[in-house]
Amino acid sequence: MKTVLKMNNLNQLEKDAVLFEKGRPIRCIGALIQGSVRIEGGGMSRIARKGSMLAVSDLFFGQYTGNYIVEENAVVYTFSVTDTASLGKFLEQNADYRGIIVHSIAGDLLEYLNGRERLLKFAAEVRDCLDADDGKGLAEEWFTLECEEEKLANYRECASVPLDIHKKYYYNGLSMGWYQTKEIAGMIKSVFASCQLVLKKLDEVYWNATGELFDEEEEASFGLDALREMFAPVLHPQEHSAESAQEEALLERIERPMEVLKDSLMQILRFSGLEKKGQNEIIDAMNAFVNAKDRLSTQDDMRKVKKQITTYFFKLYENCVFKWFKDQNVPLVIRLFLNYGYMDERLLEEDQIRFLCDRIIEKEEKTACRIYTMAEWLREIYEGRKEPSRNSFEQDYRDALREDKRTGKITEKQEKEYLEDNVRKVRFELENMFVSNNKIVNGKLSTYVPVLYSEEIFGHMDRLYLSKQKLNDVIVELERKDFTIFQREVLYTNPKMGIEKEYVLKHVYPDVILAPVYGTASSMWQEITGKKRDTPGRFIFPVLTENEVDTLVTKAFGRFHWEYCRCEQGASWNNIQYKSLTSEYMDYIQYYRKNRDLTEEKREKIKAQILKARNNSREIFLIDYELWMYYESKAAIKMNKVARLILATYCPFNKEIREMLKTNAAFAEALTVHQKIFGEKKREWEMRIKRRENKNLEIPQEFYNTYEYYANN
């Protein structure tokens, strides 16, 4: 995930974002304010932590020597330093940073030296394991470094000097700081060249031993772990054979699932560590459910059994998922339970169980839209990368704690402790978002039970299974049609550039979660995270569904449009004085009887639509949104003139569809409105950019991105 950086400004970066790309010309250097960044290059992989200066030594190479990848959510301040000349000017103008630069680049040298020592130790290990002919490429001379040992010792100690001392020492010493920086950079280049030479020789040795070469694209970013894995057959042939045998055994077990999954319920109970009384109660309830003549019954006795199963299902899930956090090498039955709600082999057909086993070992590629299983999502919260969702009272975790303190349930001290307690956060998510949404996306309130069983499954599993890739493809395709759906207008300020307040566009995909349940519905649980409007919403889908996926996604999109507009407009969401999707649509629904643009027949249809949606304004809008996406996008007239105009204004189709609709007179007015709005926005941003160009002021990338959005759509 490549990142567009704001120059001379703070940049908030999510895990796995690529900050700088290997081989690219230097655009800037950065100060790591928060988080950590993994740097892969020169045959080494290392972690830069809070306080580090990033890419300073790369300036002396003329390009980024490795890939800088965000290891944990980070905040980086960028400086427009592109070469050694601009670095010298930067040090001249920023006395505070002289000591920081020396301290940081000395730390880089230490990391390179330590990395080189590990690499050489590994190379020696390889050489010792091979015969004389295969290992001759790793001669002793390749293990030497053309640097004075005294200098190396000096700068090893330099890296251990506290930062505060460096800052004071070099504050008034521009020449000293610049000299030290250049000398250390020269030593880094020597170490880097030495590592590249050893890698080249390892490549030759690998060729002699296996008849294969390193992958060119990966060669320069090898970490030691990757090299050890690659050379495993050479270094430890017996262990490698044992690992292969284990993999084959796992596949063999999945080939005979009924044997491996025998007494699944008891396996889950033993793994969970549930107390004996609870185990007996869930066993009795599950046996009653397995032996029931009609598992889809809505009678009181079946409702009671399902309620008991549901209560224990979430207790078991909590116990199992916490163990999975600590060790993901869990039995097959636990993986099926966490991902699909599987609990008992007696409730499913053998071919259905085989299908789930095949899916559980599939490795899925990264997708444009981040999609998580429920267990993966809870782990994100447990490891502090995500915050819990809101509960059914629209309270987030912080709000709920504040309410508990207000009502005397917890003290102020406990509130502070619980705010940092990730275990409690996971439990909050389990008890609120998970419990509520599992039932919502199941969509069958009268027969709901979270356990997977064959009677509720209609159709072949291959059609019903919702993979991450399949869901991502549908989301991306529908976003292509409704291209404004994930664009947010957010506040942008940059005092250093003289920008006090501008509203720019930012693309924000939602967090998408697959609930371990068979279902017929989707859930748009929240439109933003916390209070900030440029944060992801949260959509939940069932992992197995009998409905068409584009139907589920379209409903989620429609509800998201409505709820995000309400969030953005605040108290004015239904005030027609402030034009927006919700205010104009509410005005249309409230006064449709007096609207002269509607015939009596159209008014009757609106009345029926309101009754169908039970007078829920969001659901009334959703009916129109579905007609807009399914039919009107293909020039099939299903909506009245007023509703069409509102949807065309706030949920416009992409350029391709609009071109196709041009020839249809019914869409003429609607298309004109879009053209006018985007034309005005394009001219506004064009003028903003020109004004800054005329004054020779730097133009943020966000300005260009926003202009291009309005110009190209």
How many Å apart are CA 475 and CA 479, to the nearest integer? 6
Q: pLDDT tens digit string along 614-669? A: 999 999 999 999 999 999 999 999 999 999 999 999 999 999 999 999 889 999 88
Range of the domain at 314: 256-456
For position 215, what pLDDT does the model report? Answer: 47
Residue 657 lies in a domain: yes
Q: Is 651 within 8 Å of 625 (Cβ atoms)?
A: yes
| Same domain membership, residue 480 and residue 427 | no
Distance of CA 226 to the CA centre of its chain: 25
Residues in the chain predicted with pLDDT less than 50, given as ranges, are: 135-137, 213-223, 234-247, 249-250
DSSP codes joined into one string, 685-699: HHHHHHHHHHTT---
How many Å apart are CA 576 and CA 134, to the nearest integer? 80
Q: Is 272 within 8 Å of 337 (Cβ atoms)?
A: no
How many Å apart are CA 8 and CA 495, to the nearest integer? 10
- Beta-carbon contacts of residue 602 (< 8 Å; ≥ 6 apart): 640
Radius of gyration of the chain (CA): 30
Which is nearest to 575 in space by CA: 557, 590, 595, 560?
590
Q: Is 363 within 8 Å of 567 (Cβ atoms)?
A: no
| Same domain membership, residue 311 and residue 223 | no
Residue 386 lies in a domain: yes
Residue 566 lies in a domain: yes
Tokens matching residue 477: 């395709």
| Same domain membership, residue 479 and residue 445 | no
Residue 617 lies in a domain: yes
How many Å apart are CA 514 and CA 471, to the nearest integer? 10
Residue 169 lies in a domain: yes
| Same domain membership, residue 358 and residue 301 | yes
| Same domain membership, residue 261 and residue 134 | no
Neighbours of 156 (CB within 10 A): 14
| Phi and psi angles of residue 509, each rounded to the nearest 5 degrees, phi first | -75, 150
Residue 627 lies in a domain: yes
Q: What is the CATH number of the domain that holds 196?
A: 2.60.120.10
| Same domain membership, residue 330 and residue 205 | no
Residue 699 lies in a domain: no
pTM of the model: 0.68
How many Å apart are CA 186 and CA 672, to the nearest integer? 62
**114-119-123 Cα angle (round to 5):** 150
Residue 702 lies in a domain: no
Number of domains in the chain: 3
- Beta-carbon contacts of residue 381 (< 8 Å; ≥ 6 apart): 387, 388, 422, 425, 426, 429
| Same domain membership, residue 134 and residue 73 | yes
Neighbours of 686 (CB within 10 A): 13
| Same domain membership, residue 279 and residue 418 | yes
| Same domain membership, residue 146 and residue 287 | no
Task: Calculate the alpha carbon distances from 71 to 49, 433, 563 in Å.
Answer: 10, 27, 33
| Same domain membership, residue 329 and residue 383 | yes
Residue that terminates a domain, selected from 402, 425, 456: 456
DSSP codes joined into one string, 50-76: TTPEESTGGGGTTS--SEEEEEEEEEE
| Same domain membership, residue 91 and residue 35 | yes
| Same domain membership, residue 164 and residue 110 | yes
For position 140, what pLDDT does the model report? Answer: 53
